[in-house]
Structure 1
Amino acid sequence: MNRLLIIIGKIIVGVLRLLGRNAGNLPGIVLWHLTRGKCCKMFKVDCPIIAVTGTNGKTSVTNCIAQLFEQSGKKIIINKEGNNLDTGICSLLLRHCDMSGKVDADYLILETDESHVPVVYSQQKLETLVVLNFFRDQLDRNGEMETLIQKINGFCKTFSGNLILNGDDPNTARLGRANPDNKNVKYFHAEPYAFATKEIFEASEGRFCPFCGEALEYDYYQYSHIGKFRCNNCGFGNNEPYMTAKDIDLEKPVFTADGHEYSPKLNSIYNVYNMTAVASAAKLYNISSEVTENVINNYTVNNGRMESFMLGDRHATLNLAKNPVGANMTLRVMNEMQGEKELLFVLNDNVADGLDVSWIWDINFSIFERVTRVVTSGTRAYDIAVRIKCSGYDASKIVVKPDLDEAVEELARTEGRKFVIANYTAVQPTRSALKRYIEKHGGEHNENG
């Protein structure tokens, strides 16, 4: 039966490729129905599987870990296109298996949607799970964050493999207690950077101990609820770090970890945590320091993630923000930059975004610094404009342009540094609008930020 299913799946892949499609999800959807939800079970995978999950940063960390092994001469399979549900992973394995379903690789490195970790890895044996963070995200699909954490916590209760956890996120660190018999739990941590605070300034989901209910005490907050925390009642949070980022200087940017100095291309505390997770995986798998430094120092993001554009002589940075934390992190980068700047915020409410846009009320616009003007666009341009006005920002400095091309024209009309935030389905149309402006008026597009 498995062989027949594999043949059917490969035929679908072949037809889609003939039609110019990448076969990223549809073959898996068909096999999901034919196998009654067990589409990943029919593959024979003998190599170790490393999975990366969490609300933000999955793609970057997955790609970096894959580069660690590639540059070490290993044959890896990765879902680089980001199809991270069970159907997408099934489609990926279909493209890389023989007719018996056997997958030939040294390692599988798989970005995995948080809600699908228990689904996929009840069907395939997982060796290492990297968990980055948990924030409220796409409530239409995921529900409240606690529901999502409980799903992964249930999986971790019987998981005895390597568990690499963000020790500065109480929602992630709690997974380390799910299976008391698992001796392979490792935490990564970051010492405070220049803009760490004693008080919380953004939406937080980690205020109380998940084990005894007492309020958590923080030595400092890096962003949102990420920071050095502890429960004075039961000791939750007192974990020995496996990897610690120190001497963080985002001006250069540079940080040290495990005695090595790294100079990443992206200067945000958010990226420091991502790269510390990568360094943790490198240490676990004995990747050489030369390879690790090369990967961390040269990794760049594109496709709407801190992507750089020159609109004439105006420098603009575009970043995806699909939840409050993603938006807040871009605002932090913007605020920490000296000089005056302007913001374009593009907000859509398509199905893939989540029809509920109430998450914008968890974005902290009240900490704007030297932001002289805001342009809003997208299907919910007026909603985000009202939200920014309600934060206390001068309404006379807000310009609403639902049409994206008009919004970009408006943004570029004045001098100064520009930042663009776009949510999930808005990113690609925004990129296209920025490129159209450059074609019409001149400028430059640099996908490497």
Structure 2
Amino acid sequence: MKFYFALWFAKLMGLAIKLVSKDRGTNLPGEKALLIDPRFVKHFKNIDYAKVIFITGTNGKSSTTNLVTHILKENGKKIVSNLEGANLLSGIATILAKEASLTGKLKADYFIFETDERYLPLIFAQLPAENMLITNLQKDQVQRNGDPEFIIRKLKEVINPKMTLILNNEEPRSRYFEEIAGRTIYYGVARHEESFIKEADYPTQGCPKCHHDIIFDYYNVDSIGAFHCEHCSFASNKTTAYEVNNIDFAKKTFTLKDVVYQMPYDLPFMFYNYAGALAICEEICGVPAVATAKAFENFKNIGGRFEVLKYKNKTIKYMRIKQENPDTLQSALNIMASDTNEKMVALGLYVVNDFVPHYINTFYAFDCDFKPLIESKVERYLCFSEHVSYDTANRLIYEGVNKEAITIMDSDDIKTIFSEIDKAKTDNIYLITWISTFEKMKKFIEGGQN
């Protein structure tokens, strides 16, 4: 009866929240249900754990979850998934309560869940999935995660011989788990025209097996690419069964298993999401590559990840990044640097305030290589936000940017941001900021203020 009361309460709360705002309540009903019944998720009926797929890792799990769910639905599968991005136990409890009958029965072909890597053992204890994709494990949210080695230990608590792992072939920490899984599937991305190398003095990462330096032959995105360890011979495979190759940026196409796909987003970090999603769909869900291609034609990623705004005669290219690790910032810098046209760069880096204590994260910017961006025809820089604007400007100055080329704005006032954009001679604007600030900018434009 405790379970039923928790379920009905969660359903009613979910309906009430939906009446107030469709964009809220991805955690709250599940949080309250778990207070009533701490084993709430464990008590749902008709869940075949062989049909449950966890998608975890530092970067890319939301996009990959979204793509897998989209492909499977386009191929007629009934899917239960936490697409809103609530990836803790309470978020999963919320979506299960929403999708279940009044007696707790669920009906789905597959359960696809984005899962927070730190709290995965708590989720697994009630929902022992038999399939898991690991995107990558990078330095991230140091105030709660510490070092990636800590996350490796957390994942080791749940990986077992009964589990099928889908691993990123070109990310050392993801590949590290190959020896403890019951079955291993690899995915990857071939070298392409935007792959790059780094100078020898640029810091690398330690081998997860022997802790000597990993040597990257090249990078497809920051910290991910063909690699090897000269000390213990741990290395990426030369080819994988699920490899994105023949990437054509002009035609926006790629090939996997001799099937040509239309790229909905021609961003290098998305290629790994494509490869991982296709590995899941074929190997776990039985949807062959040839049947998945059509789904790419109408795929739209989670709102705000990469969007283009038209403002007067200018084009604003917005990149939403996770401002809690250096890899996503580096990927954004690389994308901007690859644009050889003159540009303005607006950087709104913020205080990290997802939980107490809040802190100002400035060292990630020093983990990143700004040099290619600085050398790529930047007309002007705008550093804004209440607490981090001066730190951002200092990082640019350390890299050699003339102070006269930097505007510092210690707020995120929308009108002031646009007044600075107005001053730019170039019509090519790149923007990094919180999604909330971006949404305000979007409303400002849509409100006819341009």
Superposed pair shares fold, TM > 0.5: yes
Counterpart of 2:319?
319
Matching residue within 388, 412, 417 for 2:422? 412
Tell me, yes or no, if structure 1 residue 225 matches structure 2 residue 223: yes
In the TM superposition, what are the counterparts of 1:179-194 in structure 2 within 5 Å?
Answer: 179=181, 182=182, 184-194=183-193
Residue identity matched to 2:260: E
Deviation at 1:279, TM superposition (A): 1.7
Task: Describe the SS at the equivalent of 1:155.
Answer: coil
| Aligned residue runs from structure 1 range 279-358, under 5 A | 279-284=278-283, 285-301=285-301, 303-322=303-322, 323-352=325-354, 355-357=359-361, 358=363
CA RMSD of aligned residues (A): 2.3
Shift, 1:200, TM fit: 5.4
Supply the distance in 2 between the matched residues of 1:195 and 1:33 (Cα, whole angstroms): 49
User: How many Å separate the matches in 2 of 1:87 and 1:203?
Assistant: 40
Post-superposition shift, 1:211? 1.4
Report the alpha carbon displacement of residue 207 of structure 1 after superposing the two structures with TM: 2.5
Q: Give the % identical residues.
A: 25
Distance across 2 between alignment mates of 1:400 and 1:159: 54
Q: Is the 8 A contact 1:139 1:356 kept in 2?
A: no
- Is residue 88–residue 115 contact of structure 2 (8 Å, CA) maintained in 1? yes
Q: 1:142 aligns with which of 135, 141, 145?
A: 145
SS at match of 2:260: strand
User: How many residues are treated as equivalent by the alignment?
Assistant: 433
Question: CA contact under 8 A between 1:164 and 1:186: conserved in structure 2?
Answer: yes
Partner letter of residue 119 of structure 2? H
Q: How far apart in 1 are the matches of 2:436 and 2:19?
A: 25
Among 146, 166, 169, the alignment partner of 1:167 is: 169
The 10-residue stretch of structure 1 (213-222 or 72-81) with the greater mean CA deviation from structure 2: 213-222
- CA deviation profile, 1:25-80 (whole Å, cap 9, x unmatched): 111112233344x4422222424112211111112111111112111111111112
Shift, 1:438, TM fit: 4.9
Q: Which amino acid aligns with 1:56?
A: N
Q: Is the aligned partner of 1:14 residue 2:15?
A: yes
* CA 201–190 in structure 1, closer or farther in 2 if over 3 Å, else same: farther
Looking at structure 2, the residues matched to 172 and 35 of structure 1 have their Cα atoms a distance apart, in angstroms, of 34
Kindly report which structure 2 residues correspond to 1:358-437, keeping only aligned pairs within 5 A, or say none.
358-368=363-373, 369-379=376-386, 380-401=388-409, 402-405=411-414, 406-414=416-424, 415-422=426-433, 426-437=434-445
Which AA in structure 2 matches 1:316? I
8 Å CA contact retained: 1:203, 1:363: no
Contact 1:275 1:296 in 2 (8 A): no
Change (3 A) 1:408 1:177: farther
The verdict on how the C-alpha distance between 1:399 and 1:159 changes in structure 2, with shifts beyond 3 A counting, is: farther
What's the CA shift for 1:316?
0.9
State yes or no: 1:258 paired with 2:266.
no
Displacement after TM superposition at 1:223 (Å): 2.5
The residue that corresponds to 2:53 in the other structure is 50
Name the aligned partner's letter for residue 369 of structure 2.
N
Distance 2:45 2:201 in 1: 45
For residues 352-407 of structure 1, give each alpha carbon's deviation from its aligned partner in whole angstroms, at most 9, with x where no partner exists: 28624132222322221111211111222222122222222122111112233112
Equivalent-residue separation in structure 2 for 1:248 and 1:51 (angstroms): 28
Q: Given the superposition, is the C-alpha separation of residues 409 and 232 from structure 1 closer, same or farther in structure 2, using an over 3 Å criterion?
A: same
2:320 and 2:13 map into 1 onto residues whose CA distance is: 32
Query: 1:242 offset after TM fit, Å?
Result: 2.5
**Partners of 2:199 and 2:59 in 1: how far apart?**
19
Structure 1 residues 12 and 438, CA gap change in structure 2 (3 angstroms): closer
Shift of 1:174: 0.5
What secondary structure, in the 3-state scheme, does the structure 1 residue paired with 2:86 have?
A: coil
User: 1:215 and 2:213 equivalent?
Assistant: yes
Q: Relative to structure 2, which stretch is displaced further, 236-245 or 93-102?
A: 236-245
Q: How far, CA to CA, are the matches of 1:171 and 1:270 in structure 2?
A: 17
Per the alignment, in what secondary structure is the counterpart of residue 250 of structure 2? Answer: coil
Query: CA offsets per residue over residues 125-179 of structure 1, 9 Å max, x none?
Result: 31321111122222123222221122012211x2522211111000111111234
Alpha-carbon shift at residue 10 of structure 1 (Å):
2.5
- 1:54–1:131 contact (8 Å) kept in structure 2: yes
> In the alignment, is residue 118 of structure 1 matched against residue 126 of structure 2?
no
Question: Take 1:254 and 1:404, find their aligned partners in 2: how far apart are those partners?
Answer: 39
Q: What displacement does 1:238 show?
A: 4.7
* 2: CA distance, partners of 1:27 / 1:168: 38
Range moving further from structure 2, 307-316 or 389-398: 389-398
Cα distance in structure 1, aligned partners of 2:270 and 2:201: 18
**Counterpart for residue 178 of structure 2:** 176
Q: Quick one: structure 1 residues 20 and 195, their matched pair in 2 at CA, closer, same or farther if it must change by over 3 Å?
A: closer
**Cα distance between partner residues in 1 of 2:202 and 2:419:** 32
SS at match of 1:226: coil
Paired AA for residue 57 in structure 1: G
What corresponds to 1:27 in structure 2? 29
| TM-score, scaled to structure 1 | 0.90
Q: Would the aligned equivalents of 2:67 and 2:301 in 1 still touch at CA under 8 Å? A: no
Structure 1 residues 85 and 15: CA distance shift in structure 2, 3 A: same
Partner amino acid, structure 2, of 1:404: D
Partner Cα distance (1:202, 1:260) in 2:
40
CA–CA distance in 1 between the matches of 2:205 and 2:27?
Answer: 38
The answer for the alignment partner of 1:445 in structure 2 is none
SS at match of 1:287: coil
TM-score, normalised via structure 2 length: 0.90
